[in-house]
Amino acid sequence: MKNLLAAATLALSVSASGLAFAEPLKIGMITTLSGGGAGLGIDTRDGFMLAIKNSGNKDITVVTEDDAQKPELAVSIADKMIQSDNVDVLTGIVWSNLLMAVAPGAVAQGKFYVSTNAAPAALAGANCNKLYFNAAYQNDNLHEAMGEYANKAYKKMFILAPNYPAGKDSLTGFKRYYKGELASEVYTQVGQTDYAAEIAQMRASGADGIFVFLPGGMGIAFMKQFAQSGVKIPVMGPGFSFSQDVLPAIGDAALGAKASGQWAPDFDNEASKKFLADFQTEYKRLPSIYAVQAYDAAQLILSAASKASVKNADAFRAELLKADIKSPRGNFKFNTNQHPIQDIYLTEVVKKDGVLTNKTVEKIFADHGDAYAKDCKL
Amino acid sequence: MTLALALEQLLNGIQLGVMLFLMAAGLTLIFGVMGLINLAHGSLYMVGAFACAAVAAWTGSFWIGLVASLIAAAAAGAIVELVVVRRLYDRDHLDQVLATFALILIFSEGTRWLFGSFPLYLDIPPLLQGAVSLPGGAEYPVYRFAIIAVGAAVALGLYFLISRTRLGMRIRAGESDREMIGALGVDIRTLYTVVFALGSALAGLAGAMVGALQSVQVGMGEPVLILAFVVIVIGGIGSIKGALLGALLVGIVDTLGRLLLPQIVGLFMPLAQAGPIGGAIASMLIYVVMALILAVKPRGLFPAAHG
């Protein structure tokens, strides 16, 4: 009888470990849910929670807080989550300046940070960290792709971005691949809403193409004003400039704009179709690339959590690095600096069934990593 | 730099100034008459933009939306005055700032609750689409000309209202001695509500017109509010004339600074570095101008009569 009990206990414990480490995992999500950048944070949260919900994993809890796009608020939320909520993994920050305020401190305290969007150069090169992963890209990537695309048809580009870390990464990335002449390189204020002065410079510059990186409300304002200005130079940008969160508000002024992205709603793979259908059923709207990135970040954390305990940082990190997920983007693996290696596509804004969306045109880069990985010694 | 570019930028500066004037006029009027610092003025701008976008989407007409924005912002202003602000006139400025800051949060969350977090779509009416040619070969959007015209009309209208009508006489009297006009039998409480609603309607009008150019989203009012405060501090708090000149000054300095500073910095260093540095200086320029003006005229260009 005693033996039987022991055997039963043993069998139970074996089957429990076969079910993987069903150990509680607490994720702290800090993202922008109020203010002008809220659309991006809401897509991040919804994409992330969709993957958690689909997994049916009851051992994972997610605490979500709004950073209102303010670095000081993000830092105090992170401190609270680490010290009193005891989270194991942090995620969700949209903006690079906020990420720079939070991520270095979080990893120094032994917490994992899996970025759903922000990917400043400063954390991809010499200052990479074993506990810092990026599930989205490196900030330069989508801009590099547009630089490569611009080489095909344009000789004199006017390039513009907001004056903050991701804006500088953007234009640096663009110039890394673009070989032609620059008509001008302009930095605007973060959150600027009137671009009349810049549009006038574009008109006067003699440029044959315009590259703008203006995420969120900034891009909406720019495109509407540009459409009214009578300037006929073609506009292009990284995917954020024409992402699903801003397209309805820009309206037809965005039609025909070219952008780069690692995902578009017309991707023809099973994971993408399932993601698109699930997202639309759950939230009654089309997802943006922020939602895809967060969905993959959640999938990555889930896949690692099913095989290793987060308390064992080395094992958990090894599982994360395998990137054993079915990404809607198709190819996805991690580089040596724990940033993605993925394909990047050219997309075009089209109207489908009366809804503005992005359509894939061609592949610009296959298995594209980033320029900073070589400086990362992990 | 060509003449066409200079002309276009000057118009851009005037247009920005006119838009700021619509915001600053209400703000300075409310401060002048009631002595109230109203941080929630930016929220009324947002109310105007959302009302215009929602009604324009529903009816298909921008013009009905524009009327709706005036009504909605004036109504929101009147309700805020009756329910909250009325209790603040006798308090000090810190209490006013705290209470009206709370109003910002309430308006923002309320709007998000009603309309969601994604920006709304509001397009320029067909009549004002497109651009017209300027001498020198440049083109300028018709809609921005329309904003300049509306701003000029509002400035004239306010001038007549304040200098030629009975209501204006009471507003001026209220500015110089609040207690005395109450003692003389003027219904000061109604006057306050009317002034507050008028200031709110101007903010709502600005929000609706700018909403068609920019994105209609929660939190759109706060950046404009900061500029509007700069304008009234430069112009002299409480002075409509000061608000007009301050607004034009800020609009033109800001626009030309964004154009010229990166080029001036570019004379000393390569383009890639000049862009961010010039851009950073340009974004501080209006505050530098404000500091200089306050150093020479501590109470602004046109200080109001009372302290």
User: Residue B293 in contact with residue B301, Cβ under 8 Å?
Assistant: yes
Q: Are A180 and A329 found together in one domain?
A: no
What pLDDT sits at residue A15? Answer: 43
Give the confidence band of B69 by pLDDT, cuts at 50, 70, 90.
Answer: very high
Average per-residue pLDDT for chain B: 88
Query: Is residue B219 assigned to a domain?
Result: yes
- How many domains does chain A fold into? 2
Q: Is residue A1 included in any domain, yes or no?
A: no
**Number of compact structural domains in chain B:** 1
ipTM of the complex: 0.78
Q: Residue A65's pLDDT is what?
A: 94
Whole-angstrom distance, CA of residue B28 vs CA of residue B262: 33
State how far the Cα of B284 lies from the Cα of B234, in Å rounded to an integer.
Answer: 15
Same-domain status, A314 and A283? yes
A252 min Cα distance to partner chain B (Å): 10
CA separation, residue B84 to residues B76, B99, B193, B271 (Å)? 11, 8, 11, 52
Whether residue A308 is found in the same domain as residue A328: yes
Distance of alpha carbon A65 from alpha carbon A44, whole angstroms: 12
- Are A160 and A219 contained in the same domain? yes
- Are A128 and A151 in a shared domain? no
Asked if B255 is an interface residue toward chain A (Cβ–Cβ < 8 A), one would say yes
* pLDDT at site A228: 85
User: Quick one: which of A286, A276, A296, A293 has its CA closest to A245?
Assistant: A286
CA atoms within 13 A on the CB side of A52: 21
pLDDT value at residue A3: 59
Q: What is the pLDDT of residues A297-356, one digit of tens each?
A: 999 999 999 999 999 999 999 999 999 999 999 989 999 999 999 999 999 999 988 889
CA–CA separation, A52 and A44 (whole Å): 13
- Statement to judge: residues A159 and A177 lie in one domain: yes
Tokens 């900061």 locate to B226
For residue A121, the 8-state DSSP code is G
| Cα–Cα dist A364/B118, whole Å | 30
Instruction: Please give the residue range of the domain that contains residue B56.
Output: 10-125+134-296
pLDDT interval class at B96 (50, 70, 90)? very high
Q: Which domain holds residue A305?
A: 12-137+267-334
Which residues of chain A fall below pLDDT 50?
10-19
Q: What is the pLDDT of residues B26-62, one digit of tens each?
A: 999 888 888 888 999 999 999 999 999 999 999 989 9
Instruction: For residues A158 and A248, state if they share a domain.
Output: yes
Cβ-contact A266, A345 below 8 angstroms: no
Q: Residue B86 belongs to a domain with what CATH number?
A: 1.10.3470
A366: in domain: yes
Determine the angle formed by the axes of helices B240-266 and B271-296, rounding to 10 degrees.
Answer: 150
Tell me if A216 is assigned to some domain: yes
Give the CA-trace dihedral at A139, A141, A145, A146, to 10 degrees: 0
Is there a single domain that holds both residue A242 and residue A198? yes
- pTM (predicted TM-score): 0.80
Beta carbons of B144 and A34 less than 8 Å apart? no
* A193, A198, A228 member nearest B124 (Cβ): A228
Residue B2 has pLDDT above 80, yes or no: no
CB contact under 8 A, A35 and B255: no
* CB crowding A96-116: b at 16 or more within 10 Å, else e: bbbbbbbbebbbeeebbbbbb
pLDDT given at position B183: 85
pLDDT, residue A16, reads 42
Q: What is the CATH number of the domain that holds A184?
A: 3.40.50.2300
Question: Is B226's Cβ below 8 Å from some Cβ in A?
Answer: no
Q: What is the pLDDT of residue B307?
A: 40
Q: Which residue of B has its CA nearest to A41?
A: B117
Nearest-by-Cβ selection for B15 from A196, A198, A224? A196
Q: Is B15 on the interface with A (CB under 8 A)?
A: yes
Q: What's the mean pLDDT in B137-147?
A: 87
Residue B307 lies inside a defined structural domain of this protein: no
The pLDDT, as a whole number, for residue B6 is 84
- For residue B180, being part of any structural domain is answered with yes
Q: What angle do CA B111, B115, B121 make, to 5 degrees?
A: 115
Cα A297 to chain centroid, rounded: 9
Q: B217, B227, B250: best mutation site toward chain A, by most A Cβ within 10 Å?
A: B217
What does the alpha-carbon distance between residue A116 and residue A293 come to, in Å, rounded to a whole number?
5
Residue A118 lies in a domain: yes
The model's pLDDT over A23-46, given as tens digits with 9 standing for 90+, comes to: 789 999 999 987 767 888 999 999
Query: What is residue B230's predicted lDDT score, i.e. its pLDDT?
Result: 93
Give A42's contacts in chain B (Cβ within 8 Å): 117-118
Asked if B210 has any chain A CB less than 8 Å from its own CB, the reply is yes
Q: What is the mean pLDDT of residues B220-242?
A: 89
Q: Is residue A4 part of a domain?
A: no
- SS3 string, chain B, reads CCHHHHHHHHHHHHHHHHHHHHHHHHHHHHHHHHCCCCCCHHHHHHHHHHHHHHHHHHHCCHHHHHHHHHHHHHHHHHHHHHHCHHHHCCCCHHHHHHHHHHHHHHHHHHHHHHHCCCCECCCCCHHHCCEEECCCCCEEEHHHHHHHHHHHHHHHHHHHHHHHCHHHHHHHHHHHCHHHHHHCCCCHHHHHHHHHHHHHHHHHHHHHHHHCCCCECCCCHHHHHHHHHHHHHHHCCCCHHHHHHHHHHHHHHHHHHHHHHHHHHHCCCCHHHHHHHHHHHHHHHHHHHHHHHHHHCCCCCCCCCCC
List the single residue in A163, A175, A217 with the smallest CB-CB distance to B217. Answer: A217
The pLDDT of residue A224 = 87
Query: What is the three-class DSSP state of A156?
Result: strand
pLDDT at A14: 43
Separation in Å, CA of A205 to nearest CA in chain B: 10
B36, B88 in Cβ contact below 8 A?
Answer: yes
Residue B74 has what pLDDT? Answer: 96
Residue A339: inside a domain? no
Percent of chain B with pLDDT over 70: 98
Query: CA torsion, points A187, A191, A192, A195, in degrees to nearest 10?
Result: 80
Q: How many CB pairs (< 8 A) connect A and B?
A: 145
> CB–CB of A113/A101 below 8 Å?
no
What is the biggest distance separating any 2 CA atoms in chain A, rounded to whole angstroms?
Answer: 91
